[in-house]
Amino acid sequence: MVAALDTHHTFAAPDGPVLVVIADGFGHAPDAESNAISQAETPHLDALLSDATTSRLLLAHGPAVGLPSEGDMGNSEVGHNALGAGRVFAQGAKLVNHAIADRSIFSSAAWTSVVETAGDATLHLVGLHSDGNVHSHTDHLYALIREAAASRVPRIRLHLLLDGRDVPARSALEYLDATTAAIAAIGHDHPEADIAIASGGGRMTITMDRYEADWPMVERGWNAHVRGIGRTFVSARNAVETMYGESDAGDQYLDEFVIVDDDGPIGPIVDGDAVVLFNFRGDRAIEISQAFDDEDFIGFDRGPRPDVFYAGMLQYDGDALIPANYLVEPPSIDRTVSEFLCASDLSSFAVSETQKFGHVTYFWNGNRSGKVDETLETYVEIPSDNVEFNKTPAMKVREITDEVIALLRGGDNDWGRLNFPSPDMVGHTGDLNATIEAIRVLDDCMGALIEVIDELGGVLIFTADHGNADIMFTEKDGVRSPVTSHTLSPVPFAVHDARGDRTWRLADLESAGLSNVAATLCNLLGLAAPDDYDPSLIEPA
C-alpha cells in the first residue's frame, strides 16, 4: 500500500478538474506532405502547442520508455506504462534480450516443461513475424528454435503472423527469406530437427485481436494454427506471393493460410504438443492465450481443445494470470500514480473506446487489471466499430469527448484521463487522407474540451504515447511507400491552465520523457510527487 501524498508547498489544486488527454500516435515531425498532423487544419492544437511557455517535446521511444536502444520505436503499451508509473521500467523486448543473453529463459520452469513435452511430440512457435520490436522480434524466435533443436526437440512448427504495421507494409517476403535461411543454418547444425512453417496470416486478420473487439479474428487464427483449416499452399512464400497478386492489401490484412503436403496440413496443434507464443507485448497476446488455457472459454467454438503445454513469452496479465506458464518474468511495476492519487482520496475517471481502453486502465495501472479503488474511480469503455479504421477515421473520438465532458461537468471527479485512438489506429492503415481527417476531428474535440476546462476552472494536459501519424509515407525516386509503423519522433506535451495567474512554469529539463508526466500531474493537483518519480515538467514560477 502507498501513502497519501503531501500537499505541495507552492502549487495549489485548481477549482476544476485536471484532465490528461493522450492522443495516441500523435508524434512531432517536420512539416511535410507525409505528416498527416501538420497537413490537417488544427487551430486549437496549433494554439496549444505553439506557446513555448507552456509546451515542449518529450521522448517516447528507446531507453526513455524502457526499450533497449534509440532505434526502438515506442508503442502504446510502454508509453502508457511510463505515463502511469512515473519511472522507466525495463520493458518486454529488453527483458527478453536479457533473459536470452544470460540464458535464464532456458532455465525457467516453463521452458523445461516445453522441452520435456515436445521431446516426444511437436513444439509450435506462434507469433508476430518481424523485427519491429513492438510485439516480438525474429531474433527471439530464432533463439527459441536454436535452443529447442539443441535440446533434441524433434519437430518444430512455426505459425507466423505477418506484420506490415510495425515494419513496411509489404515486407513479409523479406522476413520469410530470413527465417528460411535461419532454419537452414540451424538444420545444418542439428540435422535431426524437422523445422518448418505450418500456418500464418495477417496480424489484423487472425489471432492478434485485443480487448475482445473481434473474437472471430482469433477464431480464424485458431482454426489455421490448431485445426489446419484455411486456404492451403505449398509454402508460406507461395501464400504471400499469391495473395499479393490478388489485391493491394498490406501484410497485416492478408488472409489466413495453411501449409500442406501430400498428406495434408504439415503442422496442426494436437494432443501432447507444446505451444509457445513468442510475442512479448501483452494486449494482443491475451485472447489467444485464453483460447489455449481457459477451461471455461466462451470466445468462440474451439472444437476439441488439444491437450497441450502452453506458455507465453511473458505473463500478459498479472492479475488474471494469463497465461499460467511463461518464459520470462514481466516488469514489476508498482507505486503507480493512480495508486498514490487514490490513497490521497482523489476521484478520477478513465475513458476510451475498446481499441485503447486497456491502455488508460491496464497499462496505465502497471499491467494490472481492474481498478485501484472501486469507490474513487470510474472507467468507461465505448465499444469500437469492427471496421477498417480508414473507412471511419473519426472512430469514437466524438463519443469519447461527449462522455468526458459529461464526467467533467458532473463535478464528481478531481481528475481524469482519456485516450484518443485515431491518430494511431487510422495511421496504421497508411491512408494519408483518412489520417488527416482523423486529426481534424481530434482538433475539433480538443476545442470542446478546452472550452469546458475553462468553464470549470480546471487544467488540461495534452500529450501522446508515441509517434505514428506524423510520418505516413517515404518517397524514393518519385515512388511513395506507405509507412504504417510507429515512428521515432518525440511527442508534444502542453498544459492549458484556466487560471489566469499561474504559479508554475516549465522546468528547465534538458531531456524528458513520458515518465515525467506523472509527477507533473501530481503537482498540478496541488500535491508533492513521490520522491523517486522522474522530475516534474513544471516548477514554481
Is residue 442 within 8 A of residue 404, CB to CB? The reply is: no
Measured distance CA(415)–CA(317) in Å, rounded: 26
Cβ-in-10-Å burial (0-12, 13-18, 19+) of 104 comes to: middle
Measured distance CA(205)–CA(114) in Å, rounded: 28
Tell me which residue of 64, 80, 86 sits closest to 5, measured CA to CA: 86
Measured distance CA(112)–CA(125) in Å, rounded: 15
Is residue 39 within 8 A of residue 472, CB to CB? The reply is: no
Residue 8 covered by a domain: no
- pLDDT of 329 > 90? The answer is no
Cβ-in-10-Å burial (0-12, 13-18, 19+) of 379 comes to: middle
Amino acid found at 65: V
Q: What is the CATH number of the domain that holds 512?
A: 3.40.720.10
- Helix, strand, coil share of the chain (percent; to 5): 35, 20, 45
Could you tell me the pLDDT band of residue 1, with boundaries at 50, 70 and 90?
confident
Q: Are residue 232 and residue 139 in the same domain, yes or no? A: yes
- pLDDT of 158 > 80? The answer is yes
Q: Are residue 390 and residue 511 in the same domain, yes or no? A: yes
- pLDDT of 3 > 90? The answer is yes
Mind listing the pLDDT tens digit for each residue in 269-323? 999 999 999 999 888 999 999 999 999 999 999 999 999 999 999 988 765 789 9
Cell 501484410 sits on residue: 251
Residue 2 covered by a domain: no
Residue 158 covered by a domain: yes
Residue 9 covered by a domain: no
Average pLDDT along the chain: 96
Q: What percent of the chain has pLDDT over 90?
A: 90
Measured distance CA(386)–CA(209) in Å, rounded: 11
Is residue 225 within 8 A of residue 126, CB to CB? The reply is: yes
- pLDDT of 102 > 60? The answer is yes
Q: Are residue 468 and residue 408 in the same domain, yes or no? A: yes
Q: Are residue 323 and residue 346 in the same domain, yes or no? A: no
Residue 133 covered by a domain: yes
Mean pLDDT of 412-426: 97
- The confidence score (pLDDT) of residue 336 equals 98
Is residue 469 within 8 A of residue 438, CB to CB? The reply is: yes
Is residue 56 within 8 A of residue 500, CB to CB? The reply is: no
**Residue positions counted in the chain:** 541
- pLDDT of 91 > 90? The answer is no
Residue 7 covered by a domain: no
- The confidence score (pLDDT) of residue 210 equals 87
Strand blocks (E) in 266-396: 274-277, 309-314, 326-328, 348-353, 377-382
Where b means 16+ CB within 10 Å and e means fewer, 398-408 reads: ebbbebbbebb
Could you tell me the pLDDT band of residue 490, with boundaries at 50, 70 and 90?
very high
Cell 501449409 sits on residue: 259
Q: Are residue 132 and residue 280 in the same domain, yes or no? A: yes
Domain finish residue from 297, 328, 359: 328
Is residue 5 within 8 A of residue 528, CB to CB? The reply is: yes
- The confidence score (pLDDT) of residue 330 equals 73
Q: Are residue 308 and residue 399 in the same domain, yes or no? A: no
Amino acid found at 500: G
Three-state SS annotation for 10-27:
CCCCCCCCEEEEEECCCC
- The confidence score (pLDDT) of residue 421 equals 97
Q: What is the CATH number of the domain that holds 169?
A: 3.40.1450.10
Residue 12 covered by a domain: no
Q: What percent of the chain has pLDDT over 70?
A: 100
- The confidence score (pLDDT) of residue 319 equals 57
Measured distance CA(27)–CA(486) in Å, rounded: 9
Measured distance CA(508)–CA(82) in Å, rounded: 20
Q: Are residue 477 and residue 528 in the same domain, yes or no? A: yes
Q: Are residue 355 and residue 318 in the same domain, yes or no? A: no
Domain finish residue from 285, 305, 328: 328
Q: Are residue 86 and residue 110 in the same domain, yes or no? A: no
Measured distance CA(267)–CA(193) in Å, rounded: 14
Residue 6 covered by a domain: no
**Residues catalogued as catalytic:** 76
Q: Are residue 45 and residue 113 in the same domain, yes or no? A: no
CA distances for 49 relative to 57, 358, 463, 485, 510, angstroms: 10, 27, 10, 24, 18
Instruction: Report the domain count for the chain.
Output: 2
Q: Are residue 173 and residue 244 in the same domain, yes or no? A: yes
Q: Are residue 261 and residue 369 in the same domain, yes or no? A: no
- pLDDT of 521 > 70? The answer is yes
Domain residues for the domain of 189 are 93-328
Domain finish residue from 293, 328, 363: 328
